[in-house]
Structure 1
Amino acid sequence: MSADSEDTSENKQVVRKLYDCIQRNDAAGFAQIVAESHTDHSNGRNGPAGFAAAAENIHRAYSDFHIELRTLVASDDLVVAQWHETGVHTGQFFNLKPTNKPFESTGLNMYRVSGGKILDSWISVDPRTIRAQQAAQAALENG
C-alpha cells in the first residue's frame, strides 16, 4: 500500500469515527477527532463544540435516530461522505415543531482531514426533506 493510499484510508477512518460520534451523541469523541481550529463552511458550527451542538440538536429532535454512512470517497486530504439518517420527529428542530412522524434525510458532506483531525467541513442536506417536514407541519397547524 502506498503512503497516499494509507493517508486516504486513515482519513476515511477519521470520518467513520465522526459518524459514530454523531450516532452516539458523543461530545468527548468529537474533541478527539475535530480540530479546535475546524471551520464549518456551511453552518458556522466550528470546532468540536460545533459538532457536539449539532449532534445534540439532532438527538433532541429525533427519537430513534440512526445515521448510516453509505459511501466514503477520499482523495489527498479530502473525504466525501454520503449518508442517510432516520428517526421520529418528536422534538423541536430549529423552526420545525414536532410532527411525531418518521423522518428520513440524505446528504453529501465533504471534510478536509489532516493528522487525524477534521479541519474543514462542507455540509449538504437534501432540501426536499426539510420542505416536506415544513409542509407536514403546516398541514397539521392548518388542518
Structure 2
Amino acid sequence: MSDTAKNEQVVRQLYDCIRRNDARGFAAVVSEKHTDHSNGRNGPAGFAQAVDNIHKAYSELKSELQLVVASGDLVVAQWRETGVHTGRFFNLKPTNKPFEATGLNMYRVVDGKIVDSWISVDPRTIRAQQAAQAAVDG
C-alpha cells in the first residue's frame, strides 16, 4: 500500500472514531503534536472534546464521508452530518429540530498520524442554526 493510500486510511479511521464518539480511538490516528488551524482544539484530546460536544448536542447523529481525496501527506474529506438538535451546542440552545451540516476538512498525515487539520463547514449551516436560535429566543 502506498503512503498516500495509508494516509487516506488514517483519515477514514478518524471518521470511524467520530461516528462512534471513541475518545480513546483518536490517540491511534491523531498526533499529540496535532494543530487544529480552524478552532484550536489540538491533539487527540482536542478531537475527543469537539466530537463529544457534537454528540451531546445532536441526538440521532449520523456522520458520513462523501468523498476522500489524498495526495501525498494531504487528505481532503467531504462530509455530511445529520441529527436532531437536542442539546446545547456552544452558545446555541436546543431547537429540537433536524440538523444537517456539510463541510470539507483537510488533514496532513505524517508517520501514520494526523498532525494538522483545517475545518470548513458550509456557511449555510451556521446561518440556519442562528436563524433557528433566533426563533427559539424570539
TM-score (norm: length of structure 2): 0.98
Tell me what 1:34 maps to.
30
Q: 1-side partners of 2:135 and 2:54: how far apart?
A: 23
TM-score (norm: length of structure 1): 0.94
Tell me what 2:104 maps to.
108
Q: 2-side partners of 1:22 and 1:55: how far apart?
A: 6
Structure 1 residues 1-143: aligned runs within 5 Å: 6-142=2-138
Greater helix content: 1
Residue 139 of structure 1 deviates from its aligned partner by 1.4
Aligned length: 138
Give unmatched runs, 5+ long, in structure 1: none
Larger gyration radius, structure 1 or structure 2: 1
Moved over 6 A (4+): none
Residue 10 of structure 1 deviates from its aligned partner by 0.6
Q: 1-side partners of 2:30 and 2:136: how far apart?
A: 39
